[in-house]
Amino acid sequence: MTFIRTSLCALLCLGSLPAFALSEQGQQQLEQLQSRWAEINYQLPQAQREAAFASLSQTAKQAVNAEPKAAELLIWNGIILSTYAGAKGGLGALGLAKEAKASLEQALAADPKALSGSAYTSLGTLYAKVPGWPIGFGDDDKAEALLKQALALNPRGIDPNYFYGDFLFQAKRYTQAQTALEHALQAPGRPGRELADQGRREEINTLLSKLRAELQ
């Protein structure tokens, strides 16, 4: 079984006041995790990503250990583990996906609105991409419900629209997918996350090209 290689990234946008405010050091760590994630995911050759994400996952774990109730750090720990799983592939990726799921569920318990509902986006994408029973925990119904919750909290966000569009594309619901992906392209830019935005827009355009080919 090969774990579907995909970027399972979640959106960082302006969020509501968290239940447990990050310390100044925690905020700096969060920004460093986001920046390094974007560099690995969009600038490193694919052959180098697994090792780089493995290292970054240790940094994220240390950040969470320092502030275990910070939903933002739990979210990014889940995002990094998810993307590490995608880079690793194979059965070993499933264990990482389960760790990511646990971290994202902890984030939802701490503050479901943190980072504009990013935990819903990433958890929904995990349910969509991981194989279903008896191999894994994948579940399309849960995936769609979580992705819709993410959109309810952040309807203009680039990531919730992209990942829901990808889900709809995989389900061959092409007209709905096109609408979601076009909304994703119209999303406002995120200050400080220019590399992530650029990489995501490239992914959106690539998926739109595939979708338009299916519609012809």
Relative orientation angle of helices 71-88 and 91-110, to the nearest 10 degrees:
170
Q: Which residues of 78-106 are buried (b: 16+ CB within 10 A; e: fewer)?
A: bbbbbbbbbbbeeeebbebbbbbbebbeb
pLDDT tens, 158-207? Answer: 999 999 999 999 999 999 999 999 999 999 999 999 999 999 999 999 99
pLDDT tens, 29-88? Answer: 999 999 999 999 999 999 999 999 999 999 999 999 999 999 999 999 999 999 999 999
Per-residue pLDDT for 17 more than 60?
A: no
Q: How far is CA 94 from the centre of its chain?
A: 16
pLDDT tens, 89-101? Answer: 988 899 999 999 9
CA–CA dist 57, 47 (Å, integer): 17
Residue 38: the pLDDT is 98
H or E stretch covering 175: helix 174-185
pLDDT tens, 174-188? Answer: 999 999 999 999 999
pLDDT tens, 104-150? Answer: 999 999 999 999 999 999 999 999 999 999 999 999 999 999 999 99
- Give the residues across from 132 on adjacent strands: 138
Q: What is the pTM of this model?
A: 0.89
Q: What three-state secondary structure class fits 37?
A: helix
pLDDT, average across residues 11-21 = 43
CA–CA dist 139, 143 (Å, integer): 6
Greatest Cα-to-Cα distance within the chain, rounded to the nearest angstrom: 52
Identify the CA nearest to 202 among candidates 170, 175, 162, 149. Answer: 162
